[in-house]
Structures are given as structure tokens and as C-alpha cells.
Amino acid sequence: MLSEFTGKNVFITGHTGFKGSWLTAILHNAGANVLGFSLEPDTNAKLFESLKLGEKVTSIFGDIRDHHQLTSAIENFKPEFVFHLAAQALVRPSYINPIETFTTNFVGSMNVLESVRHSNSVKSLIFVTSDKCYENTGKTRPFNESDKLGGHDPYSASKAAAEILFHSYLDSYISLEGKMGAASVRAGNVIGGGDWSLDRVVPDFIRAVEGKKPIELRNPQAQRPWQHVLEPLHGYLKLAIQLKYHPKDFSGSWNFGPNLKEEISVKELIENCIAIYGSGSISQLTAYESPHEASYLRLDSQKAAELLLWRPKWNIDLCIAKTMDWYQEVSLGADPYAMTIAQIEEYFS
């Protein structure tokens, strides 16, 4: 499958982020010509730095809200595949800075769509949103792609707005012009080695262990569709290929989540991390210290299973084990890039 990208021009927004770094490593290892477009790596983009991806692929450091710079980058590079991952991707910071959240996730995404639709080279667009784009009223039924969009917090609302924007462009321009295929993708909560983002539970756990402190859980009973980062990326890559060859059949929205029986709570996730890592403890924040977050979230990925023949490869225990193994081995001196490529090659074999 990955040979489809060998020698091809692939443009990735947000390539310095956690998921973007894993995707960049996959495609670089597959022999693709990767151009990344992202903000300058911040102190939390440690995976991009530790993998030395800046030495392996070409980067343009810019803001997707800058339409001229983004358009120029795409016009000059002439990519065949575009993966749009750049975003303000966290719930709690969205409460603190809603303007940045909405302008990045909506206006920035609009710039991507506008730039791509005017390109003569792009054949496939993967437009990454979020599992939190659905209107979450607390029901326990898994969300499918036809469910109503919405969002209580600014992050979720911005992703729902981005989905509406995407479908407007798909219906008004992309489908009518027929030059390319385009899909919005909604994945579960990803875990994996090298995530150092603030306000995410696995990085918080690793930092707590390193600081010899208990991890504070805001919402320990919250159910989330945890999955290893390679699972949705596998889905994105499979879908990107189909969009190139069968744009009418595969354009639209797609869920990529774990098997429903594999879903566990925040507390259960960290208890498993503690058992595998052999260190750590838990404390709980009181309710009033945390802004609103949905307590229950599940994804129905039947569409991907039936039409794309995509299914999760690793169960939740293996996802956690691979994640903890990456952190432990790197802490003991293993090369982060070698560890990452080893897990990629194991997964895709």
C-alpha cells in the first residue's frame, strides 16, 4: 500500500505536530517527497525534533491563516496528495483562546480548501477534523458519519464548523469539477510514543512519572475511543489512495475509531499505563476545576470497515504496550527515529 506514495509529492499541514510527525515519518520512509507546512515547532513538538524530521523532509514554517503563503507553497510544490492536519487541537486551550481556535480551525482550513481547489496537481485531499465534531448530548450510541454536527466547547464547535465548510466546498466545487477526491476524517483519541502535548493524558502521565508525582485526572470515568496513532493514519493513507482513483465513490466523511468493545475510561487507560510502565499513581481533580468536556464519546466506523476494508489492527492492550515501550526504550537511550520506524514497519507489515 505504501508503495503508492513512493516518488510522489505529498503536502502535509501540521507536520510538526504529534500525528503529523508520525505521518511524515511513514511517508518519508516510504520514499515520498514530503513538503510540510506548519508553524515553527514549539517546545511541545519534541517528536518532530527528536526524529530529526527537519533534516529528512522540506519544511515551510508559516501559518495556514496566511492564504498567500499557503497558496504559493502548494502552487510551487505541485503535490499529488494533501493531508491537512494543522489545527488548534486541544479542548481546554480553546476556552482560553477561542479566537485563535476558530481562526485556525475554520479560516485556516478554508485557506487550505481554497488553495487545493485551484491546484491542477492535487488528486487527493485528506481533511482532518475530529471525533468531537458531533453534537454530543450525552447519549451512549456511537456516532456515525450522518449524525448532527455541533460542539459545546470552542474546539468542538470549530471542528463542526470546519466540517460544514468542507462539505460546502465538496458540493459546490470539488465534486462538480471532478479533478480530485476529498474526504473529511474523524478519528478517535490517539496515543503513541513521542506525544509531549500539554493537556493530553498520556503525556501528562509520562511527565508525572518523570517528576515523581501522581497524575491528576480531570474526568477519570470519561469514555474515549483510544487508539494508537498508526490506526487512523493507516485509514487516512488507504483513503487517500482510493480518492485518487475513485473520487466519486470515496469523497465524503469517514470515521476511524477503535472496536467498540475496546473502549475504556481515562482511569482504566492510566491504570494500564502504570501496570506496563511499572511506575506512577493517580489523583483526581475536583469537578469545579475542569471546564466542560463530554463524558462519553464513541465512533461507529462501520463505513470504513465495509467500503474501505479498514479495521483496527492492534487491540487496546497492544496500543498501550507499544506506547509505553516507545517512551521506556527512548528514556533508556534508544534512538527515537529507529523506534518509530520499527513500530511503523511492524504495523504495516
Would you state the pLDDT for residue 16? 95
> Whole-angstrom Cα distance, residue 308 to residue 305?
6
pLDDT tens-digit profile of 113-131? 999 999 999 999 999 999 9
Which run of H or E residues covers position 183?
strand 181-187
Q: Domains of the chain by range and CATH?
A: 2-348 (3.40.50.720)
> Whole-angstrom Cα distance, residue 258 to residue 225?
6
For residue 288, pLDDT over 50 is answered with: no
pLDDT tens-digit profile of 313-325? 999 999 999 999 9
Q: Average of pLDDT values for 142-154?
A: 93
* Nine-digit cell string for 11: 503536502
Q: Average of pLDDT values for 150-158?
A: 92
Among 33-42, 133-142, 187-196, 250-259, where is mean pLDDT lowest? 133-142
Angle at 122 between CA 177 and CA 133, to 5 degrees: 80
Would you state the pLDDT for residue 208? 94
For residue 182, pLDDT over 60 is answered with: yes
pLDDT tens-digit profile of 69-94? 999 999 999 999 999 999 998 788 89
Cβ neighbors of 131 (< 8 A, separation 6 or more) are: 143, 186, 187, 188, 189, 225, 255, 257, 297, 299
Question: Higher pLDDT residue, 57 or 263?
Answer: 57
Q: Which of 209, 236, 196 is nearest to 51 (CA)?
A: 196
- 88 phi-psi bin (left φ>0, alpha ψ -120 to 50, beta other): beta
Would you state the pLDDT for residue 21? 97
45 pLDDT tier (thresholds 50, 70, 90): low
Arithmetic mean of pLDDT over the chain = 93
- 285 phi-psi bin (left φ>0, alpha ψ -120 to 50, beta other): beta
- Do the Cβ atoms of 53 and 25 come closer than 8 Å? yes
pTM of the model: 0.94
Among 38-42, 52-56, 198-202, 259-263, where is mean pLDDT lowest? 259-263
For residue 289, pLDDT over 90 is answered with: no
